Structure 1
């Protein structure tokens, strides 16, 4: 299957994002559920950080909260992906939403001490880690192959919009309902999302070639083995993770760039951090509309390059306005690489392996982000924010070059191998 997904003039036209939401009940249900739960999750993150900071008075406690919520579930990513490939995706996603809702409900009702709070946050995060690959693996079963780019971009636009608005909604709700009330709203959002997913049709797993199911651990090991054998998947995943490892430190670096290098104050921090988000949303909108006009390889490499160049040029910026512009443009690159990566994997990976590939990818991204925060923190202490951004952007551009030189060749070999297997299969059935 070609990842360019070119079409002839006699084939039905690709749907727009609005058309997909209007005409596809399944995709509309998945999109709505994701927007609702991501928005609610952004609410609770603010509430939990404030609660932990107020009750413990220790920054390390907030760090532990973020670590348990973001990094620890990444370690279970092979299992999370295997669950998606083993069971009906509709049931998996509904169960994950309900599990997250119940965990938030327990937290809201009890506001437990820190050790128990971390356990409940970890359980919620693990359920979320299972949901992510399941949701991405479900998309090919809900839209036409030619609409995958648009579907991924539309989903990215919706979830990132909800994530951006969540903290603002939390700020508006705090004076009226307090921390407990905000957490209850998040719990309700997960339960509502689960109810919305009931409208999905059944999305059963691909049948096992041997006709029998292996253990869950064996399925997870098989998923890791597939990634080791599929060179094209390795290049895409390693390239994405390397870009994150180099550029993930940008959030911290931008804070120091605004406050120390530019001596511009807290308002400038908000501007620089907001610039990426604005560019990201516009990038998803443009990608949904125009991504089908270029090959996915071009879109991926362009996304890597713009993302990395944005940080490098920010390191050279002389004022807040210049840095705002480069970060705004960088958001377009993040959207492009996200849509290209998801769509390529959805087209290249067998359906029965797709959950495990996405599960391992998201887990690896979480590890890469953690490494970026740690290494970037040391680099910021040893040098400066501009220097750190220059190194981050330069490393990302080097990664981009390696991917651009490697990916077309391994993609051709992968496609040729698929065509050969299809020919042999057809010959064996005649």
Structure 2
């Protein structure tokens, strides 16, 4: 086997987990993500059942993304100013305490929503620090495989969180689900505290002690003025806006298809379940040189399958329509594997010293459009059949994703003899 062919072989899961610090990074992320989606579904269904409003249910789902919109880049900049381990541990433990307060029986709905908003404030610094630290800990193709693995686990966590949340909300008690969430955040924070090495704050490469706002502007300027980065985040934002909008109307979709909430957990779990399969196939078994070439077909699959899912109830009846919608949402989730090579391309294009800020900008935009998509879908479902909303999202999404796709292809770097790792080396 030639040297080039050997380098084009994907790394293995064994080699990724052989890095000691990746294990707590990975395991704590699993715990926190399961709890996050469990709590999110519990509150969304609770609000929908109390009010009967798809818009208010979607608003509840979208609230968890609001901190990224109003303060995400600012909070994420902490990952480039403070030790990243400290940022992650404090974020997890603070969220554990806040979720425990949410579990108090009889808490008024406005107070629950306020606490959810405060819990969500912990996400920007945590995610920026975790993403940047993972790129520091893992080199070469292990970062790409770890990215796919983390994405797969995130989708599995959504499946578990949504299904478990659906059971707890309908059969047990939302308070119990919130206590489980608090426990997962606490365990995640303790695991990070024990398992990660202490590292000082990142070297700022001669930058002076600028304010947080100046740090935010640095990250924003880098992303928006670098054609390659702009194409990457543009596709990320538009793609996520389209492919996740249906999550905001899960209860309304279930109502339309089966006349109640029996299907809500399955409907919301179908998309991440498909993403698990796509993530494993693309992230683990595709050669590094092939992954980015798969972005365009995978994006088209992820958006086109949504349009077909929305069309299914128009041509099928009863349980057959419900099964078809679930299956097509899973196909759309499979297509979402395009985010894996996009993440790797982003890391390769960003200097390590500003990685936290750049991730903050990217994730802030992604969270903003997730919340916006949920709200748009909820508003549309107030006067239109929920499956018709899914159909429209898919049809409108196809031309929307075409623009950043063209930009991504135009800025693709020329092929070289060495496969680049996260550092770009």
- 1:17 matched residue in structure 2: 13
Alignment of 1:195-344 (within 5 A): 195-198=190-193, 199-251=195-247, 272-317=267-312, 318-319=315-316, 320=321, 321-334=323-336, 336-344=337-345
Contact 1:141 1:203 in 2 (8 A): no
- 1:94 to 2:89 alignment: yes
Query: Which structure 1 segments of 5+ residues have no match?
Result: 1-5, 420-430
**CA displacement at 1:40 relative to structure 2:** 2.1
Counterpart among 61, 67, 71 of residue 66 in structure 1: 61
Distance 1:270 1:88 in 2: 38
**Per the alignment, in what secondary structure is the counterpart of residue 368 of structure 1?**
helix
Distance 2:373 2:180 in 1: 32
Contact 1:314 1:323 in 2 (8 A): yes
**Per the alignment, in what secondary structure is the counterpart of residue 122 of structure 2?**
helix
- 1:75 matched residue in structure 2: 70
Q: Deviation string for 1:338-389 (max 9, x for gaps)?
A: 2122211111111122212221222212222233234334545666556544
1:255/1:231 CA distance change after superposition, 3 Å: same
Q: Give the TM-score, by structure 2 length.
A: 0.82
| Higher mean displacement: 90-99 or 360-369 | 360-369
Distance 1:25 1:265 in 2: 46
Tell me the C-alpha RMSD between the 2 structures.
3.5
- 1:355 to 2:350 alignment: no
Distance 2:386 2:107 in 1: 38
Q: Deviation string for 1:1-20 (max 9, x for gaps)?
A: xxxxx972455964322442
Counterpart among 123, 146, 149 of residue 151 in structure 1: 146
1:111/1:88 CA distance change after superposition, 3 Å: farther
1:137/1:378 CA distance change after superposition, 3 Å: same
Distance 2:172 2:267 in 1: 31
Counterpart among 11, 14, 23 of residue 28 in structure 1: 23
- Whose helix proportion is higher, 1 or 2? 1
Q: Give the TM-score, by structure 1 length.
A: 0.81
1:301/1:212 CA distance change after superposition, 3 Å: same
**CA displacement at 1:65 relative to structure 2:** 4.2
Query: Which structure 2 segments of 5+ residues have no match?
Result: 421-425
Contact 1:253 1:388 in 2 (8 A): no
Contact 1:83 1:130 in 2 (8 A): yes
Contact 1:99 1:127 in 2 (8 A): yes
**CA displacement at 1:100 relative to structure 2:** 0.7
1:206/1:239 CA distance change after superposition, 3 Å: same
1:7/1:79 CA distance change after superposition, 3 Å: farther
Distance 2:377 2:328 in 1: 20
**CA displacement at 1:101 relative to structure 2:** 1.1
**CA displacement at 1:127 relative to structure 2:** 0.7
Distance 1:108 1:312 in 2: 38
Distance 2:281 2:214 in 1: 41
Q: Deviation string for 1:142-192 (max 9, x for gaps)?
A: 222211221011111222212221244456667998544433332221111
Larger radius of gyration between Structure 1 and Structure 2: 1
The count of corresponding residues between Structure 1 and Structure 2 is 406
**CA displacement at 1:97 relative to structure 2:** 0.6
Distance 1:322 1:399 in 2: 25
